[in-house]
Structure 1
């Protein structure tokens, strides 16, 4: 039967993926595991528990192995760099060794949540001695979750989880399935969590239409997949494997999962290079995003270093960086430094410039003129300029009521001052 016909035959399973699969284990003898010779050729061995089993595949990589643009040795180096850094970040590995980071991914029978969504591969990689050791725990049929989770939890020693959208999907799925068998397996451990999906969205939303891991791999990390099985076919292939036991299709899913996990190591390395100012090829836009991120979490000094490093050739990024720096100077009550930057922004304005930073800079100058300099005429002039720019950008008209209110208040205030001067 062709693979097309097999997949077509299995489509009915996908429609029922929210219903638990009830398949009895046909194996009652430890000496009989279907296609075990083929599994052994792929470094797969069985794990037995009370006459039930799961399968465990193990692959080892040298630290000099290159996955995408980085070797795994460079991953070890960035962990050392985080430990030597004087600033903090949500992705910082400070306080951890490289071996503490646990790169984790799952394959499931569906993208939805709930007890009917079964995890059939628990995959992870970790630095052990001088190698990256990648293990994948495979569910041979839906009735074997106890050996699957027992083998996973008893052999894993980790303190920090690294995933790609695992906070919203992978780990909640693990918790759901664990709840169903928690009386028979070890407790789930407590640990920290790095979710690289949100970091990728922050850093490259300007460059990528979607931040799916395979797209980030190809466009950012230099990872090239060959003959890869699409992830959306994984459930159908697994259902076929449960029925026929032939590992042929599952080996493709295991390779897909393996690449996902290795790419997490490369992605963490690359993001760390950019956040640690080690990426020599970083773009102005990426530098700006790094500066914004550090600003958001209150790491002012490293934020300034990034924002101040954007050169004059990158006009748009330079103006956004100047606005963020001015905002920080205002917080520090360095008003003269802030004013210099606000004026620089409005003086270099063109129709191609981000109008938001220009309008906001004019508003800040208006506030300073009104409240610090007590120069109502200048405040009114800055407000008029902001209104003029606003009219050129219809998409920003939501700001108009605020500006109009400011203009009317300043005009009334100026009129009162002039009237008082007249009577004196």
Structure 2
């Protein structure tokens, strides 16, 4: 079996994790999550809940990735710890969910760059970033490093403008949305869980570090350090920007905003800076999409190696040592979804299938036993992560749950019939 080259260190892995997460929550998810939570305070609580579930999942993912340092993530862990069927459901859920995420990110790029021609721009972005990934994982890490640097600069600019631009009002954070937004939040606890489920979309990128496990140097040491570090940095960034955005716009305006950070700058009266923010948003989402395509391609490679997907996709390029056929196939499917899809529906669908993926991650981690170093209550965290994932799935909008469960069921039925 052809192997990928181990070229990534801790810094590279953290950068890829940051590139996979920064951008999605800030530029896409905050508005529908605020509408679901029903208030600014509710959004912050939901963000903390999503971050805690993500931390539980990250702990389980890091332990399993150190134990099984190869491409595929929970597809591999599920097969090894729970059996082939659990592994297939995890892999299938990841591939279809993250394909929807790729389409959502590509459409976001098109909407920011050229709103009147969003779909053609989205297709062009997918093709261009696939070419970068095909040049090798080091090229991906290098490009992501620059994209993350630009993204962080723009986010710091927005935070500074929001804090010192004269419109910051801490009292706005606790205000209700007043019925704004398109999601019926109903009872407050259900609304909080719905918001947390949607916000989980913004954290799921840390799995990219695990799915690249076959390309990480010293995976037993590198992955357990890189995953929580990347996740912690992103959580702090999201919390800070959520506070600034709520304090400037208020929950009602945020719930219906299509470009929250640009609106923050516009609210301060600094004309022209909103264009800088829109450019920064595009760059941030490009970084997310670059890492997403790489991660999905590696899971497709792992599934093709075990013949759960066509074996022709298991090829590794002899020079660049990347799963070139798998990445080309992913790009082709994303292009089709871009032509037919909708951003908000893609977010809910992706959250549903990826939460199922992480539920299997935590179930697999429970079979590993306690941490020999006794530094963390890893079994308790895995159990909490499993319960949290299932609760967030049930709290998602009904259409997203039906679509996600339906696609998972179709894949599972096809697997059982083939077996």
Is TM > 0.5 for Structure 1 vs Structure 2? no
Structure number with the bigger relative contact order (C-alpha 8 A, sep ≥ 6) is: 2
TM-score (norm 1): 0.25
- Which one has a larger percent helix, Structure 1 or Structure 2? 2
Which structure carries more strand by proportion?
1
TM-score (norm 2): 0.26
